[in-house]
Structure 1
């Protein structure tokens, strides 16, 4: 991988390079680019070699890394709401969660909100959706679909059932078809079959190719049983060193809530821990945590290995058939994932490993290959960018903006200097408090406001998750700020919110967050209790 992409420098170079055509110019002369959008579930950037994390030495993703060497890697790509269904809704609509109304896992995207597919149709593209959809509705705006069925859209790892538009005699949701084998292999097979036999080869195509892996519970194909078996997985520094991280909102006063907030690797959490799940008990708590971490990561990375191997199959086909040089290829995850950092599992958090999404793009028309860029982007920006690369424009109803000029070596005009985040599912599933925040290139401010957005809704789907919870998990959690210096403390080890030396930084970020909430229209007018708490905190 080459050194970081300096957009300002590259813009000057591009202006001097008269013989070189711009991306837009090339697209005007060539036939339309195909677009393949590849997304895995919970595949976090620190488990991709090209991102250079502690796991890079394991070489977990050689094929994805090769894609990065031939494209552009985005270092500062962030989720607006780090949970599967909301993130996917943001990507499909180009809108924030509060705008598309998919706040949590309970809401469903409406079929008339499949904007990304609709806009590609307007550009003359054939569209297809294969793999994990997880949006609740039929992907009816696509010309073709075969999507995982069961478990609320999660599907099974082994011998999965799919719902498919191939069954013309059956309507959704009864249009099901079963397959034998592992889902990662099967999803690749279905995509290859569509590319070979079902697409209209006279038209450009937009294909969404989504894997279930490496989602919990990390059921990998049997052929990977020995992968990493005798390898020691590097441990994050913050697995054990968590003294200065967090706040009362995530730890409680004097650590009084450590046993109920944030499911853990160690035996800390009372509801779910990998020490207990993997039945580890050596008599030494620190050793138990280490062994549980090793088991967690090996299962996770075996799922990742299956994805990377299958992508080689897909890439080899594209090259063989002459599609490689006329197809934009995107690789990403639907959000990040905590891999033991701060003794946490799962996602949902605004912490870096969860909020950051891997985002790698190979544009065959771009002259800039093997670069990294630190441009701040959100998943709401994906749709506008893909549409511009296909020759279209961003619809007015989308909140996101296109950063397609990056592929010409130019930073977009008047680009954002901060990204917005909000997690709504207060103390549900992995027991994470509701929070809102802002991320700039240098700092991150998180406000844990600790309240469910609609706690009085009787019989609603969200509250049904709480029926087996202990009462103390349902109550509000403390309101608090966390401030991290991302340049000097990228692992977010020290919360600086109460540090006098950072008082002015805190004040400025509070104002920026307050202003950004107004700009994006997320001001909680319909949730008076939340509005009062958040507005008071941000004064």
Structure 2
């Protein structure tokens, strides 16, 4: 993406930050308190704002094809005053696992959250607990999506499960025992969550600095925006990705089938390609239209609704910032803006996230630290969401505990080099063919290269053999195939991100890259071992890996 950035655009601040950790991690041992370090940072408030599925390419400061639409002026202004980290990636691009990694500083096999059914109980909500030990008043407001009570926070008011866009139900710590502490508030969720956060900031009576995790539901599908945005982008042509209509050298038999025989069923689409679930169906596009016209209209409506929902996030981000300024706290508050993962906006004719392709795994990450006026504007280092907790703990004056696998990259704000970083960030998507027909896979993303292994089976053997309904959705088809159970072909993909930032050409079998691929496989195997990601409990996956590692 860095190749697309126009550094002459006013207010665009690009900072590429990556902090990857090679810490081997054990399951939570006896939990020791974090050591604190005397630092002036300790007195700063920390406002952590996280949206849901807000891909970096839908933020103006990242200068993608959508930047000229000016979708996020408030977030862009924040970036112009701080540091924009470009190469930050999710370790599993789906809501619950991403949030679990952020709260624990750990990867999926260590924190136990592999899919949407995962939970993080109070005793494992490490970030909140350690922030409290560091002297902060803590609050969690908005989308939670981790099932169990956010009990490690001093205060919470959260959406149960996915939450509603309009007139949301929330669970309020002050309204009784979880989960019977629900209240309903009229309005759009982005407005409601912001109202709650501002009210909490206004009414708290502690002299401690605050640590507020403010989580928007938006712009998660199905993109229900407030009525006031109905005219935003009306009649405007939204630029289309170059890979929307053509993907001839992209992918592998794992993502396309032998001789493209599975194109119709792997990966949900904008176009008619996936007849079970495509955006044209969701957007109610006339199926009698030609394939190209159907795709065009589906994409335009998809993006229009998505960006209108994003606009609501950005406007409410502006409200939060305005309140901090009016209350005199802006210059004493570190503000972080991110999303729990990215989102495919028609690239390769895909929708949703889950994939290890950059539009899905890349997380926006913007930091304004008022005590770091000389913080850099650009960087190309690589970080992931297990690093968020260590990063914020260091900003709070605390060290990273040994049980966290992530590592702080806060020294970047002081223009100091990072040392002992991994060569790339590890990624793992476990939910084989659930919801959006994405095969299970893992891989490594370095600054220049990406290596992906699609092993294509579910980790739950019993589920593979017996289940027909998954997360409330019936996966049976007229031909009797149950996609969520069906293994897919095994294959590798390799992309040169410097030459091919849009991941248009799978170069896994190109002769000139074979030495690089061998090195990346060694690094990938090492990281899987050191990060407790070796599938020790899943011998059927280990068997596939062993059989196809040298393919």
What range is the shorter-chain TM-score in?
over 0.9
Q: Which of residues 76, 84, 87 in structure 2 aligns to 1:65?
A: 76
Partner SS state of residue 456, structure 1: helix
Structure 1 residue ranges without an equivalent (≥5): 8-25
* Alpha-carbon contact 1:69-1:369 (below 8 Å) kept: no
Question: Partners in 2 of 1:3 and 1:205 — Cα distance?
Answer: 27
Structure 2 residue ranges without an equivalent (≥5): 1-10, 18-36
* Alpha-carbon contact 2:427-2:442 (below 8 Å) kept: yes
Q: What are the residue-to-residue correspondences of 1:208-287 with 2, within 5 Å?
A: 208-281=213-286, 283-287=289-293
TM-score by length of 2: 0.91
Query: What do residues 493-515 of structure 1 show as CA deviations (whole Å, max 9, x unaligned)?
Result: 00001222222222222222112
Q: Which of residues 391, 395, 400 in structure 1 aligns to 2:397?
A: 391
Q: In the TM superposition, what is the alpha-carbon distance from 1:283 to its structure 2 partner?
A: 2.6
Q: In the TM superposition, what is the alpha-carbon distance from 1:459 to its structure 2 partner?
A: 7.5
Equivalent position of 2:333 in the other structure: 327
Question: Partners in 2 of 1:73 and 1:413 — Cα distance?
Answer: 20
Equivalent position of 2:490 in the other structure: 479
* Alpha-carbon contact 2:375-2:414 (below 8 Å) kept: no
Q: In the TM superposition, what is the alpha-carbon distance from 1:403 to its structure 2 partner?
A: 0.4
Q: Which of residues 381, 404, 412 in structure 2 aligns to 1:375?
A: 381
Equivalent position of 1:55 in the other structure: 66
Equivalent position of 1:191 in the other structure: 197
Q: In the TM superposition, what is the alpha-carbon distance from 1:425 to its structure 2 partner?
A: 0.1
Question: Partners in 2 of 1:379 and 1:29 — Cα distance?
Answer: 25
Equivalent position of 1:494 in the other structure: 505
Query: What do residues 417-448 of structure 1 show as CA deviations (whole Å, max 9, x unaligned)?
Result: 21000000001110100000000001000000
Equivalent position of 2:104 in the other structure: 93
Question: Partners in 2 of 1:369 and 1:121 — Cα distance?
Answer: 27
Q: In the TM superposition, what is the alpha-carbon distance from 1:201 to its structure 2 partner?
A: 3.7
Question: Partners in 1 of 2:534 and 2:192 — Cα distance?
Answer: 43
* Alpha-carbon contact 1:128-1:145 (below 8 Å) kept: yes
Q: In the TM superposition, what is the alpha-carbon distance from 1:287 to its structure 2 partner?
A: 1.1
* Alpha-carbon contact 1:367-1:407 (below 8 Å) kept: no
Partner SS state of residue 166, structure 1: helix
Q: In the TM superposition, what is the alpha-carbon distance from 1:460 to its structure 2 partner?
A: 7.7
Equivalent position of 2:184 in the other structure: 178
Question: Partners in 1 of 2:469 and 2:74 — Cα distance?
Answer: 39
Q: In the TM superposition, what is the alpha-carbon distance from 1:416 to its structure 2 partner?
A: 2.0
User: Cα gap change, 1:177/1:293 in structure 2, threshold over 3 Å: closer, same or farther?
Assistant: same
* Alpha-carbon contact 1:94-1:381 (below 8 Å) kept: yes
Query: What do residues 283-307 of structure 1 show as CA deviations (whole Å, max 9, x unaligned)?
Result: 3210110110000000000000001
Equivalent position of 2:171 in the other structure: 163
Equivalent position of 2:207 in the other structure: 202
* Alpha-carbon contact 1:511-1:538 (below 8 Å) kept: no
Partner SS state of residue 393, structure 2: helix
Q: Which of residues 351, 361, 379 in structure 2 aligns to 1:345?
A: 351
Quick check: 1:446 aligned with 2:452? yes
Question: Partners in 1 of 2:507 and 2:178 — Cα distance?
Answer: 51
Question: Partners in 1 of 2:81 and 2:475 — Cα distance?
Answer: 49
Q: In the TM superposition, what is the alpha-carbon distance from 1:70 to its structure 2 partner?
A: 0.7
Quick check: 1:28 aligned with 2:35? no
Query: What do residues 398-417 of structure 1 show as CA deviations (whole Å, max 9, x unaligned)?
Result: 00000010010012221222
TM-score by length of 1: 0.92
* Alpha-carbon contact 1:77-1:358 (below 8 Å) kept: yes
Count how many residue pairs are aligned between Structure 1 and Structure 2: 515
Partner SS state of residue 367, structure 1: coil
Partner SS state of residue 82, structure 1: coil
Q: In the TM superposition, what is the alpha-carbon distance from 1:325 to its structure 2 partner?
A: 1.0
Equivalent position of 1:12 in the other structure: none
Q: What are the residue-to-residue correspondences of 1:4-43 with 2, within 5 Å?
A: 28-29=39-40, 32-43=43-54
Q: Which of residues 415, 421, 427 in structure 2 aligns to 1:421?
A: 427
- Please, what is the CA RMSD of the aligned residues? 1.8
Equivalent position of 1:522 in the other structure: 533
Equivalent position of 1:299 in the other structure: 305
